[in-house]
Structure 1
Amino acid sequence: MTTFFIREVRMQSGEHIPLLVSGSPLGLPVPLATRFVLTQFRPKGLKASSIRQRLSALALAYTFFAKHGIQLDERAAKRQFLSLEELVALSDYCRRTQKIGTQRVVGPGYAALRFRVATDYIRWVSEPIISRIVDDSRRDAAMGALQSFLQRARTVAPAPGRRDASVVPGERLGFTPEQRALFLRVIEPGCCDNPFRPQLQFRNYVMLQLEFELGPRGGEVLGLKTRDVDFSVEPASLTIHRRHDDPEEPRTSAPATKTFGRLLLLDAKLRDLLDEWITRHRANRQQFPAAAKHPYLFVNYRGEPLGSRGFRKVVEKLRRHYPILAGLCHHLLRHDWNDRWVELNEEEGSDPEISLRDQKYAMGWSPTSTMPLRYARRAIRNAANKKLLRMQQKGWKK
């Protein structure tokens, strides 16, 4: 049976396009799958990571069709498509992991995406075949059969599940006060408990302080360029840009900014840290020899733009050295930022609507976003319970 892989190609414009290839990771692209990507995914402006996810679902569908001897073009010509039994089998197949020797299932959202990609592909393959039928009545009947098939498919599709804004199993929270104090202490350069190599301690400190103080996403941190920091104004500022398909991007797996671009002001401490990093450390050609070849702010030990793997290793090392930080990841710092924002709002008695508006801007969320409820869960829970205790202690008169 043919094995499928996802291979990413980079266009001259800087755009990264994932393609489904067969046989080996360096195999030739699957022609129909390539057309499917270029006509169905690319025009929607999906990120490369989102296209990869859908191509993985398409590879799963190809495997299912091969195992069951399903030839989509023949089925479309006969107006048969998939039977109800085959649709049920496809729905079950979309729930399975593809790891050998395991019976685990994937999350409901991903299973639903897989099934939707498979049925969308069947529709996409079938419609041109049906459109070539000369007889009007036969063509209309075939199109009606296709619509009936798609309606039948929806009845057996994996349910995507519902998100509850208040209760999420395994929810991610910001730091506890003890975790926060430990984190801020051990990342200090020169600290005896700092687990990083001396030559990378300052880089990691600046990077983690930037995440802690401003709450950007990981992709936003990796996409920062030195010119995004403006020291010519007072206070200094940092601008987060959306730079999809950037011609300057040399990394195969390019980081992306999912949220809106925004300008964020820096206090004196963070400004000085960034200034020292750019002018003294990053500019040191003995320490980071390749840093002069590109504009990206954070670099690896060779001076090349820091990649996602190296970025994750920073928090992985902290987790290994300090079990109390077992849940630490870069995105937890974004949650912690939102916790502290809500706590500050409570302390200052700020207008809730204005504070919420400003919080959405600082995070790059749309004005209608419900993300603040999800990201500041610990602070919201603590504030609600404090008020709940005050209500119980008030001694209401009957």
Structure 2
Amino acid sequence: MAERYTVRNPVFESGERFPMLVNVCTGVPLFEPTVFALTEFRARNRASATIEQVLRALKVFLLFCDMYQIDLTERMLDGRLLELGELDALVQLCRLPMPDIEAQVDASPNVAGPAVVSLENYRARANKAIPEVAGDTAGVRIRYIRQFVGWLADRCVLSLSARHPSRAALLSAREIVTSGLTARVPDDKGRNRARGRRALDEAAQERLWQIVDVNSPENPWEGRHARVRNELIVRWFMGLGVRRGELLGVKVRDMNFRANEVFIARRADDPNDPRVHQPNAKTADRLLAISADLAQRTRHYIFEERRRFPAARKHEFLFVANGGAPLSLRGLNKIFDVLNARHPDLLGLFPHLFRHTNNYNFSKVADEQGMDPEVEKKARSHIMGWSETSGTAETYTRREIERKAREASLQLQNKMVKPLNDSE
């Protein structure tokens, strides 16, 4: 399976990272996706990770155009964009993992005629049980493709004279395509909440602590450094609720052991970060308190484990890989891949799950303290790095609300019936 397009992430001397969508055969960045990323995202100071996500969505669109031999530039000059059947085929492609998309394009590189999606073809595809990406991932792809197609159409319209015969038709086609893609964005919000895994309950948390203990025979990691570091990482995730990029971006100088505090900073395009895919804070800078125990464990890691690697002295990042280089996002993910492979009973741990667990535990503490709901919301927003008015804090209270609702429902049911063991 030959890759046609790929996203490359060069790092400039200033530390700036600017992902580009590149033609693999020529090694040259594609002009229109690059200009689109520059004008619509980089000019608005969007993070390089966001731009990379945009370009991966545009890669899906370009593969779709290759698959159906669609020359969008030629079509726009004729006042056309995409047909309705092509919109359906594009949306179906957006639901597939990238390797499956590339495989489909390689299997049918010379599809002739417009895309047609019939009910029979849809049923046949559904019966094959082809794996699909999450609905929100497909939705993100469709939204960025919609924006790109609209941007292309606007550029073409601006290049045409007011009397050009294709101008009005292209404006009409733009509205039809953008509204058609909008209508086809998957709406998974609010569905499958009952089965959605949002946090570790008390039993799962206790089981996790037993496994990650440095001296536990069940600990899946090899080497003293890996065991100490990985247990500390889990404690940081569980105790502080930080994101992956925030944890990997912490530097030793961000630690204040006198006050037992850590500064979570945004350092976009840090020239001192050697990682191509720079981990970074997604939310606001903030100062977080750390417990005496967590501070002691972190201090021990710095002076007893981290300092053993000469390469670790060349940078300030707190968590390092075996060898001393800053721990990468891929390396962090591999830690949990190993853990899940050795302990499938944990049912798939991943870093963001700890953020939900932190919020779940925070809700319990807030209840125990009788914290005012508004104070709780603001405190939660500060810890997570959200704006007080963002409303994001409300999405993390769902599990606690469900627990309270369950208790109330059981109380009502118990009052409604007479116990079976009562004599009649």
| TM-score, length of structure 2 as denominator length | 0.82
Whether the 8 Å CA contact 2:15–2:269 is kept in 1: the answer is yes
Q: Residue 302 of structure 1 aligns to a residue in which SS?
A: coil
Q: Which residue of 2 aligns with 1:175?
A: 200
Offset at residue 128 of structure 1 (A): 3.8
Whether the 8 Å CA contact 1:339–1:379 is kept in 2: the answer is yes
1:388 to 409, 416, 423: 409
CA distance in 1, matches of 2:241, 2:228: 19
1:266-323 superposed Cα distances (whole Å, 9 cap, x missing partner)? 2211111112222232122xxx221000000000110100111221222233323333
Closer, same or farther in 2 for the Cα pair 1:391/1:53, shift >3 Å? Answer: same
Closer, same or farther in 2 for the Cα pair 1:154/1:392, shift >3 Å? Answer: same
1:149 to 155, 173, 198: 173
Closer, same or farther in 2 for the Cα pair 1:354/1:27, shift >3 Å? Answer: same
1:44-75 superposed Cα distances (whole Å, 9 cap, x missing partner)? 33322222222122222223333433333332
CA distance in 2, matches of 1:207, 1:83: 50
2:374 to 337, 353, 360: 353
Whether the 8 Å CA contact 2:57–2:141 is kept in 1: the answer is yes
- Opposite residue 244 of structure 2, the aligned amino acid is G
Unaligned runs of 5+ in 1: none
1:31-54 superposed Cα distances (whole Å, 9 cap, x missing partner)? 222222211221233322222222
CA distance in 2, matches of 1:97, 1:269: 43
Closer, same or farther in 2 for the Cα pair 1:145/1:114, shift >3 Å? Answer: farther
Q: Which residue of 2 aligns with 1:304?
A: 325
Q: How does 1:60-79 map to 2 (within 5 A)?
A: 60-79=60-79
Closer, same or farther in 2 for the Cα pair 1:199/1:79, shift >3 Å? Answer: closer
Closer, same or farther in 2 for the Cα pair 1:69/1:249, shift >3 Å? Answer: same
Q: Which residue of 2 aligns with 1:241?
A: 265
Q: Residue 21 of structure 1 aligns to a residue in which SS?
A: strand
Superposed CA RMSD in Å reads 2.7
CA distance in 2, matches of 1:297, 1:335: 23
CA distance in 2, matches of 1:386, 1:65: 54
Whether the 8 Å CA contact 2:157–2:170 is kept in 1: the answer is no
Q: Which residue of 1 aligns with 2:17?
A: 16
Whether the 8 Å CA contact 1:179–1:324 is kept in 2: the answer is no
Unaligned runs of 5+ in 2: 105-127, 417-424
CA distance in 1, matches of 2:266, 2:215: 35
Between the two proteins, what is the percent identity of the paired residues? 31
Is residue 2:261 matched to residue 1:261?
no
Q: Residue 16 of structure 1 aligns to a residue in which SS?
A: coil
Whether the 8 Å CA contact 1:336–1:376 is kept in 2: the answer is no
Whether the 8 Å CA contact 1:64–1:93 is kept in 2: the answer is yes
Closer, same or farther in 2 for the Cα pair 1:254/1:393, shift >3 Å? Answer: same
Q: Which residue of 2 aligns with 1:271?
A: 295
Whether the 8 Å CA contact 2:320–2:327 is kept in 1: the answer is yes
CA distance in 1, matches of 2:186, 2:83: 22
Q: Which residue of 2 aligns with 1:185?
A: 210
Closer, same or farther in 2 for the Cα pair 1:290/1:205, shift >3 Å? Answer: same
Q: Which residue of 2 aligns with 1:215?
A: 241
1:133-176 superposed Cα distances (whole Å, 9 cap, x missing partner)? 44x433xx644333311221134322331412x85264123222
> Aligned residue pairs: how many?
386
Whether the 8 Å CA contact 2:146–2:178 is kept in 1: the answer is no
CA distance in 2, matches of 1:116, 1:344: 39
Q: Which residue of 2 aligns with 1:117?
A: 144
Q: Which residue of 2 aligns with 1:161?
A: 187
Q: How does 1:324-343 map to 2 (within 5 A)?
A: 324-343=345-364
CA distance in 1, matches of 2:49, 2:132: 21
Closer, same or farther in 2 for the Cα pair 1:63/1:310, shift >3 Å? Answer: closer
CA distance in 2, matches of 1:193, 1:52: 38
| TM-score, length of structure 1 as denominator length | 0.87
1:253-272 superposed Cα distances (whole Å, 9 cap, x missing partner)? 11121122211112211111
Whether the 8 Å CA contact 1:365–1:371 is kept in 2: the answer is yes
Offset at residue 391 of structure 1 (A): 4.6
CA distance in 2, matches of 1:151, 1:275: 58
Offset at residue 211 of structure 1 (A): 1.5
- Opposite residue 272 of structure 2, the aligned amino acid is E
1:301-355 superposed Cα distances (whole Å, 9 cap, x missing partner)? 1010011122122223332333331232222221111111111122222212211
Q: Which residue of 1 aligns with 2:163?
A: 137
1:356-387 superposed Cα distances (whole Å, 9 cap, x missing partner)? 21011111122133433433443332222223
CA distance in 1, matches of 2:143, 2:218: 50
CA distance in 2, matches of 1:323, 1:130: 55
CA distance in 2, matches of 1:120, 1:276: 50
